[in-house]
Structures are given as C-alpha cells and as structure tokens.
Amino acid sequence: MVAQDIERWSPMKAWLYSLFYGSPKSNASVVEFAALSDEDRFLDVGCGPGAALEHAAATGAQVAGIDPSPSMVTRAARRVPTAHVQVGSAEEIPFPNDHFSVVINISSFHHWTDREAGLIEILRVLAEGGRLHIAEGVLREGKDGHGLSPSDAETLAAKLEELGYSNSYIERIKPGWRHEYFVVTGVAGRQ
C-alpha cells in the first residue's frame, strides 16, 4: 500500500488530534535524546501535526517530516514553516539516498504496514554514521497494544543489526511521570 492511498485523518480529525494530543512530552524527550545540533539533517517519520519537528527546528537542525496523512502534513507544515514536510510512509520515503544524519519515529512503528521494508528504507536515506531512533511506549511482556514489550525491543534491535545497522542499543526514557518509552537506536553502516 502506498502512502498516497492512506488518508486516516480527515482535516477535522487532524485538527482535533492536534488540539488534544499535538504536543506530547514524548516528542520533546525523543528530540532531546537525539542530541541534535545545527549541523544535523533531521527526519521525523510519522510526524503527525509536527510537535517533534518544532522541537528539532529549535536546535538549528535542517528539519523534514513525512506522514501518510495529507491532513497531518498540512498541519505540520503550517506549524513549522521551515520544515520540508511531505506525504510519505516509512516504506516509501520521498528523499534521496544518504541524506539524513538523524531519523526518528515516535509511537507509530507499531502501525507500519511492512516494518522490515520501513527499516530498510530508512537505512537508505541515512548518511553513513546517521542514527535511527524508534521510540515506543513500554508494554508488559505478553501484552498487546501501542508500544513494545522488552522482548519486542530486543527483537527490533537485533533486526536493525541484521539489516545492516550497527551499534544497535535500547534505552528507556520517561518523558513524564506516567509513561515510559523504549528508544531503540541503530547507526547506519558498519563501524
């Protein structure tokens, strides 16, 4: 399924989402975790209404985002006019090879249609030494839902290495008092 075939968010639904969930603490925490500088070229895969883009732009990094929903792309582009925001999915990223130094994905990895294809596509757009950070809520082992269990995070880190990322590792962050996130990181290329 190509990104252009997906419109999960009507303009009204995108507006309501932005109103109630448009700036979760997880976005600021993951951007802070990524330790961006003004020399970074940053991509948010599944950028939604652009909260992480806004935080990343404040670091001086060159900022881009993709989302499968045209309504979300419109909201993100309005929110961060300096960002290059396009319709796209993890499996079809509309940017050139070796372009980004940092790619993040917050709370949407579990929605990807083809996770392996998405990880390979992200590796294509990452420059040598570039970092991928996938952040998902922590789930208890054996529980289904929006997030990753500890074994899911371990499986993802191993899959990154199998696909050609190096130095994969898992950390936990706690953006607020209530939720905890796994951040699974992989580095593009062998070092």
CA atoms within 13 A on the CB side of 186: 25
Nearest to 122 by CA among 141, 111, 109, 110: 109
CB-count exposure of residue 158 (10 Å: 0-12, 13-18, 19+): exposed
- Please tell us whether the domain made up of 3-188 is placed in CATH 1.10.357.140: no
Provide the H-helix boundaries in the chain: 11-21, 25-34, 51-57, 70-79, 115-125, 150-163
Predicted confidence (pLDDT) per residue in 170-179, tens digit: 999 988 767 8
The yes-or-no verdict on residue 18 having pLDDT over 50 is: no
- Assess contact for 34 and 104: CB atoms under 8 A: yes
Domain boundaries defined on the chain:
3-188
Q: What is the Cα–Cα distance from 126 to 165, expressed in whole angstroms?
A: 10
Predicted confidence (pLDDT) per residue in 46-66, tens digit: 999 999 999 999 999 999 999
The yes-or-no verdict on residue 105 having pLDDT over 90 is: yes
Per-residue confidence band for 2, with pLDDT thresholds at 50, 70 and 90: very low
pTM exceeds 0.85: yes
Nearest to 29 by CA among 185, 188, 180, 184: 180
The yes-or-no verdict on residue 92 having pLDDT over 50 is: yes
